[in-house]
Amino acid sequence: MRVIALLVTLYLVVGSLATSLLASCGGGISQSTYDELVRYTKYSSGAYHLVCLKPLGNHLVQSFTDIITDTQGYIARDDTRKEIVVAFRGSQQIANVFTDAAIMLTPFQSPGVDDVGDAYVHLGFLTAYNSVASNVISVVKKQLEIHPGYSIVSTGHSLGASIASIGGLSLKANFPNVTVKMYTFGGFVRLAVLSNPLKSLRQGQPRTGNSGYATLVEEMLGISNIFRAVHTFDGVPTIIHQRLGYRHHATEFWQFKEPSSRAHVKQCVDAEDPSCSNSIISSGINIAHVTYFGQAMSLDPTVCLWQ
């Protein structure tokens, strides 16, 4: 009860501050873009369920898990939209804590990925993705052979967002002629621009990758195919300040005001738009982190049955 009371108090305090800061914020995105953000939020929420039998009413191709890293998720196929969705689960088990804490930046190496230049990534996130990479790539490849012309979407929430970022890049590298989109929600996707990985380790900055990685993601997928969502004052995406040498990759879609609607979402500019979520002081993992676009993450069983 004390924890709940503390969260409620924090919500009221930070929410009050955020409301005053957001009052003059302009925004608004198209209804179609908003609907897509809602849609993939639900896919990401479904990844938290033990089994997601029919993700948004579509065909579950395969669930996947690695017992060592506890990386989990599923691959779904939507025959109406002609797309294959790979959804990664966020933090839930003890193993995920170790994944988050493995903060050393390491050269980006993953099955089927070449010519990465100076891209370095968070060791824990890379290890998590690589533990399921071969299986994911194999299943997606088979689906594309059976269903040529389908596109791919990589999505996830929180830790799952970071893995989905790496996964999206990996899938594009393995299937260069296929359109790959990335939808991430409240994720650990802040990108380090520090040139010295050891310095980053000493400063303790557990995020996805360096500037080389950020550039690689943007160039390979295309900025128009990257959707990085932040809910009001969710403190996770901004928990490390830019002064420490970090930045996001484009493009942020910030829901700056409640309730969730297209009019309350702003498409931000470049990687670190000072008028978007970067304008809010980070309060770490908070109540805004667990709800995206009206979806209470992991709590709605209907996302695994019909929509």
Per-residue pLDDT tens over the stretch 58-81: 999 999 999 999 999 999 999 999
For the entire predicted model, the pTM comes to 0.84
CB neighbours of 49 closer than 8 A, spacing ≥ 6? 298, 301, 303, 304
CB burial of residue 293 (10 Å; 0-12, 13-18, 19+): buried
Confidence band, pLDDT 50/70/90 cuts, at residue 137 = very high
Task: State the Cα–Cα distance between residues 183 and 151, nearest whole angstrom.
Answer: 14
CATH code given to domain 28-304: 3.40.50.1820
How much is the average pLDDT of 19-41?
A: 80
Confidence band, pLDDT 50/70/90 cuts, at residue 125 = confident
Q: What is the pLDDT of the chain when averaged over all its residues?
A: 81
Contact 44, 185 (CB under 8 A): yes
Q: Is the pLDDT of residue 38 over 70?
A: yes
